[in-house]
């Protein structure tokens, strides 16, 4: 089989990981193709299976309910969205809001009386009445009549309905209940693979609890091995940091835990399968599975197995690898479970290509090709998980008379597909059966169901009466061959994410082991001596780096012609820029934009060196250092495109005989003053915006980060920006003051503290003889995230950790104030504290580091003094390395929103609570602080999101996601009030602030009239 087709599986996996889709599909199409005779037989079998499926849909209220409320309909989505959140909401007030939100917009009346099931019709009328009670016709007699009892009645009815949905999709709340349910008549002939979990572990306590649940499940299932049931294990449930950056920690730990479970299962005589994970975890999973498979203690046990996802481009060599493990392996082939998140992650990180197929039909082709390999394999016992009649019929055709494999389906789905095959034809089918509390599992299962409800899925197509049998059973091989295996046109490569506007910056895939190792080596080649490997060591008391320029690559070294920060240097720099302005302003805008495009290319070409300086000088972790280079390149390309499309002269309308034109011209010399927390991205973003609009620039970086600024300026000059058009000056506050008080400065772009912005504003206005010039200021904020009781705690905690502690909390947008609805605060805070325990403080160049040191001694002393002053309010804190400027991530309890009155620029998170129903009031209390940079909201109530959008006085509002990582062109960044002046960086209005608008009106009649008008037939004497 497989070993002959894929001679070196691990090497082949690496080559396919992000290969072009047509190249990956070409051999798969050949492998999956059917000859005409086989195709005819497959269609015959598939039509029979289709008939069985449709017959099953007409039986039982569950099937009819799901058919009436299809997963892709607005009503079906509303029900599933309600199910996802309702059971975890403890307070009645928020539960009522959630019900009203989900039931209030859907058209339940359209479903009334349509089903053949009286129970379904009764449920539909209940939904109709429920909508009336929670909002529709609020002035009618029924709501008035039962206004006191209505909402509790609906709440109880919805709660019962959600628990009923839980029973549809969850086999049992406990393993014993699930095993009893498998003995019911409808499950006769089927076996089960029990999955004990929903979401992955966020804390070490979660992982320990899940491990004990697996041990209990194996013990329970092993009490009756003759039943043939098995247990499925999810590795991400056993370790909260199952990620490549933590390879040395999590792989040995997980190997030990999986070994213990496998030895237990072998002793009990039952099978154990390792579930599939996201694509970035594949190599780790294979190392863990391979190590356990090779254990001498497991020789002779044929119950060990793994799942493979056919939507992944590496599925085929993964199967070949499993076949070569020198033992029998059970392999469960599935279509895939994380398609949407995999696509988004690849786009967000700017990676070369997707790790999976972008068309559903391509996944089907891959599934068939891999299934054929599995049937031919010597050491694989195949299991085919599918609800697709065509897929099942094709496998039956290839298997012939063999029954040495099994089919699998999800509990609650696929009724009718396998019953005849199992009970009459001798095939075996295993039910994948989730086990756990409905409250915990429904959130996980609903997301899987919504994926299965996609328009292109077989489950959806089967329920669509408009589709013919031929359309439902269309050959995926023919469909993919017809488009040449090309990627779906609606899913561009990440580089083309922004279309014709600008090219997306290239990222680095740090989930790829080879890429991660190469990046670590490359960054290590450019060491910095100044602050030591973990942010300690030699550090000047004023925060300036003591690093020598000679430590940099000569190509990026700061040249001696740049100023050293004295007032004389500043004066000279401004004089140079002032003299260079006229010629640069007269340079055509397309030429200026071309310089920015070249600069973006140079930034990416010199990525390793730039990342190294960011790590050594600004203590950036590797992901943050990559982000710096990418954002800087994005600013260059975005502003270049904006300038080309928006800065040309515009002809304006007017009366005949008159020409009116609006010109956008540079103002003169701009001062750009950048912060240390984004020493490359913001430094260049401000600067290139001023340059492309025709201004010359004197650029001043923060005193802590001069070397990265020098490297950026050197590359800008190489890109074609004249040396006197962009001049670098370095130094501290004195340099900035000298720069801003010079009357030749025609504009200032500043990012930093609110206090410094005020000083700059006063300086620009204090000289009455000086022109009034623009100030663009982006300052800090007391950034709040509001969490209600409908939010998914696991998602909240992940986003809080990223928003508060990434970059050691030293982002303008970082979360400072977490406001949790009091009904769920204890649980969220407990989980958050556990997730903090997984954070690692250490050297920023170490890929395992989550939190590096803060920028300098002054920042460290200020943060630590404040932290010590509120010691009695600590909820949670961590230990920090003794050597270095590490501020321990700390949770600080507040009695009220108003207790936090200033920004603390570090990994210190304040936590307070708010009461149900007080969302509007809570937003108003945050607004009252006067800052307006970022705000977050976690809620499953759409109306809550609408309320926040209408009332939050912030520049950037983030809903159900982290609050950091604004993307140029997608999330323009900048605040209001005490948080800045606007316009927003990386947005469509930013460049206009850098220009002077000049209108020119010419009376053409004064020189002989309007020639165009006079040439008309109606003109003349």
User: Distance between CA 42 and CA 14 in Å, rounded?
Assistant: 34
Neighbours of 76 (CB within 10 A): 21
Across the beta sheet with 745-751, the strand order is 726-728, 696-700, 669-673, 745-751, 775-778
Structural tokens at position 454: 């996609």
Across the beta sheet with 817-821, the strand order is 874-877, 890-893, 908-914, 817-821, 784-787, 934-938, 956-959
Strands 428-434, 191-195: pairing is parallel
Concerning whether 548 is annotated as a catalytic residue, the answer is no
C-beta of residue 973 within 8 angstroms of C-beta of residue 985: yes
C-beta of residue 200 within 8 angstroms of C-beta of residue 124: no
Q: Which of the following is catalytic: 280, 349, 419, 778?
A: 778
DSSP labels, 898-920: GG--S---SSEEEEEEE-TT-HH
Buried b (16+ CB within 10 A) or exposed e, 546-570: ebeeebbeeebebeeebbebebebb
Q: How would you class 762 by CB atoms within 10 Å of its CB: exposed for 0-12, middle for 13-18, buried for 19 or more?
A: exposed
**191: which strand partners?**
430
Residue keyed to tokens 């959630």: 98
The three-class DSSP label of residue 450 is helix
Rg (alpha carbons) of the chain, rounded to whole number:
32
Strands 230-233, 784-787: pairing is unpaired
User: Distance between CA 775 and CA 579 in Å, rounded?
Assistant: 22
Taking CA 48 as the corner, what is the angle to CA 45 and CA 49, rounded to the nearest 5 degrees? 90
User: Distance between CA 557 and CA 718 in Å, rounded?
Assistant: 13
Structural tokens at position 458: 């077989």
φ/ψ of residue 454, rounded to 5? -60, 150
The distance from CA 49 to its chain's CA centroid, rounded to whole angstroms, is: 39
Concerning whether 778 is annotated as a catalytic residue, the answer is yes
Alpha-carbon distances, residue 9 vs 278, 334, 384, 602 (angstroms): 19, 19, 21, 36
Q: How would you class 951 by CB atoms within 10 Å of its CB: exposed for 0-12, middle for 13-18, buried for 19 or more?
A: middle
Buried b (16+ CB within 10 A) or exposed e, 207-227: beebbebbbebbebbbeeeee
Q: Which of the following is catalytic: 136, 595, 812, 903?
A: 812
By C-alpha distance, which of 593, 623, 618 is closest to 689?
A: 593
Can you say whether residue 484 is alpha, beta or left, with left for phi > 0 and alpha for psi between -120 and 50 degrees? left
By C-alpha distance, which of 811, 539, 584 is closest to 679?
A: 811
Q: How would you class 1012 by CB atoms within 10 Å of its CB: exposed for 0-12, middle for 13-18, buried for 19 or more?
A: exposed
User: Distance between CA 322 and CA 377 in Å, rounded?
Assistant: 10
- 660-664 contact pairs (CB < 8 A, 24+): 660/999, 660/1000, 660/1001, 660/1002, 661/999, 661/1000, 661/1001, 661/1002, 662/997, 662/998, 662/999, 662/1000, 663/997, 663/998, 663/999, 663/1000, 664/693, 664/992, 664/995, 664/996, 664/997, 664/998
Q: Point out the residues that are catalytic.
A: 778, 812
């Amino acid at each position: 089989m497989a070993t002959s087709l894929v001679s070196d599986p691990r090497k082949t996996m690496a080559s396919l990981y992000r290969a072009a889709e047509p190249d990956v599909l070409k051999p798969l199409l050949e492998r999956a193709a059917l000859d005409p005779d086989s195709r005819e037989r497959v269609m015959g079998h598939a039509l029979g299976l289709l008939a069985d499926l449709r017959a099953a849909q007409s039986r039982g209220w569950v099937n009819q309910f799901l058919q009436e409320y299809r997963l892709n309909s607005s009503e079906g989505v509303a029900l599933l969205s309600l199910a996802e959140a309702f059971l975890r909401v403890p307070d009645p007030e928020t539960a009522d809001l959630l019900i009203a939100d989900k039931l209030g917009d859907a058209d339940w009346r359209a479903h009334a009386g349509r089903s053949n099931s009286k129970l379904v019709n009764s449920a539909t009328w209940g939904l109709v009445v429920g909508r009336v009670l929670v909002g529709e016709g609020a002035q009618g007699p029924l709501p008035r009549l039962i206004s006191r009892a209505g909402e509790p009645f609906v709440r109880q009815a919805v709660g019962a309905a959600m628990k009923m949905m839980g029973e549809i999709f969850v086999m049992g709340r406990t393993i014993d209940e699930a095993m009893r349910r498998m003995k019911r008549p409808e499950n006769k002939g089927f076996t089960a693979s029990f999955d004990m979990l929903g979401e992955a572990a966020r804390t070490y306590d979660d992982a320990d609890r899940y491990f004990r649940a697996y041990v209990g499940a194996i013990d329970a299932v092993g009490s009756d091995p003759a039943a043939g049931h098995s247990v499925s294990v999810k590795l991400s449930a056993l370790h909260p940091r199952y990620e490549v950056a933590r390879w040395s920690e999590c792989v040995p730990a997980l190997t030990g835990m999986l070994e213990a479970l496998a030895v237990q299962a072998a002793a009990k005589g039952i099978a154990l399968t390792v579930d599939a994970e996201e694509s970035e975890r594949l190599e780790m999973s294979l190392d863990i599975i391979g190590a356990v498979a090779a254990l001498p203690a497991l020789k002779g046990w044929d119950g060990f197995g793994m799942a493979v996802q056919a939507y992944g481009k590496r599925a085929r060599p993964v199967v070949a690898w499993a076949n070569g493990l020198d033992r029998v392996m059970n392999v469960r082939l599935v279509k895939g479970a994380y398609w949407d998140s995999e696509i988004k992650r690849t786009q967000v990180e700017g990676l070369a290509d997707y790790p999976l197929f972008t068309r559903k039909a391509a996944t089907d082709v891959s599934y068939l090709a891999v299934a054929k390999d599995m049937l031919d394999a010597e050491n694989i016992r195949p299991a085919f998980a599918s609800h697709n009649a065509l897929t099942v019929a094709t496998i039956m055709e290839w298997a012939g008379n063999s029954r040495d494999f099994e089919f699998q389906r999800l509990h609650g789905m696929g009724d009718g597909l396998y019953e005849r095959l199992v009970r009459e034809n001798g095939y075996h089918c295993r039910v994948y059966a989730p086990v756990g509390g409905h409250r915990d599992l429904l959130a996980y299962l609903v997301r899987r169901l919504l994926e299965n409800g996609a328009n292109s899925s077989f489950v959806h197509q089967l329920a669509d009466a408009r589709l013919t049998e031929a359309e439902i059973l269309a050959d995926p091989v023919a469909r993919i061959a017809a488009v040449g295996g090309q990627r779906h046109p609606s899913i561009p490569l990440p580089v083309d994410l922004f279309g014709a506007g600008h090219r997306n910056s290239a990222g680095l895939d740090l989930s790829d082991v080879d890429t991660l190792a190469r990046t670590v080596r490359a960054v290590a080649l450019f060491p910095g001596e100044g602050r030591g490997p973990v942010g300690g060591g030699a550090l000047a008391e004023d925060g300036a780096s003591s690093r020598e320029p000679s430590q940099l690559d000569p190509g990026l070294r700061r040249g001696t012609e740049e100023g050293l920060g004295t007032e004389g240097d500043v004066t000279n720099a401004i004089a140079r820029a002032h003299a260079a302005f006229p010629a640069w302003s007269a340079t055509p805008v397309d030429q200026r934009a071309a310089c920015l495009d070249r600069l973006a290319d140079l930034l990416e070409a010199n990525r390793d060196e730039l990342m190294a300086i960011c790590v050594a000088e600004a203590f950036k972790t590797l992901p943050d250092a990559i982000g710096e280079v990418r954002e800087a390149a994005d600013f260059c390309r975005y502003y270049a495109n904006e300038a080309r499309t928006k800065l040309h002269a515009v002809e304006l309308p007017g009366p005949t005989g008159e020409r009116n034109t609006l010109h956008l011209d540079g103002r003169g010399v701009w001062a750009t003053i950048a912060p240390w927390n984004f020493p490359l991205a913001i430094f260049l973003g401000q600067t290139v915006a001023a340059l492309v609009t025709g201004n010359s620039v004197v650029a001043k970086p923060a005193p802590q980060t001069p070397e990265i600024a020098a490297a950026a300026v050197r590359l800008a000059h190489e890109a074609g920006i004249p040396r006197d058009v962009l001049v670098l000056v370095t130094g501290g506050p004195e340099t900035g003051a000298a720069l801003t008080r010079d009357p030749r400065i025609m504009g200032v772009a500043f990012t930093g503290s609110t206090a410094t912005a005020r000083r700059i504003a006063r300086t620009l206005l204090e000289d009455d003889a000086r022109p009034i010039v623009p100030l663009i200021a982006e300052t800090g904020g007391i950034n709040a995230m509001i969490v209600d009781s409908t939010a998914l705690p696991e998602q909240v905690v992940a986003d809080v950790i990223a928003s508060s502690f990434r970059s050691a909390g030293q982002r303008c947008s970082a979360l400072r104030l977490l406001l949790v609805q009091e009904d769920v605060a204890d649980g969220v805070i407990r989980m958050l504290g556990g997730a903090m325990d997984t954070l690692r403080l250490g050297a920023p160049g170490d890929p395992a580091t989550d939190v590096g040191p803060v920028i300098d001694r002054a920042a460290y002393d200020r943060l630590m003094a404040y932290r010590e002053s509120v010691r009695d309010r600590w909820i949670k804190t961590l230990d920090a390395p003794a050597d270095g400027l590490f501020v321990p991530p700390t949770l600080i309890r507040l009695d009220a929103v108003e207790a936090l009155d200033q920004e603390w620029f570090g990994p210190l998170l304040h936590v307070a609570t708010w009461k149900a129903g007080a969302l509007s009031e809570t937003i108003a209390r945050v607004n009252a602080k006067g800052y307006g940079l970022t705000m977050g909201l976690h809620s499953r109530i759409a109306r809550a999101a609408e309320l926040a959008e209408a009332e939050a006085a912030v520049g950037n509002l983030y809903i159900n996601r982290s609050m950091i990582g604004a993307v140029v062109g997608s999330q323009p960044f900048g605040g209001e009030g005490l948080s800045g002046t606007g316009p927003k960086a990386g947005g469509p209005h930013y460049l206009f602030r850098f220009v002077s608008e000049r209108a020119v009106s010419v009376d053409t009649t004064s020189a002989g009239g309007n020639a165009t008008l006079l040439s008309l037939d109606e003109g003349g004497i």
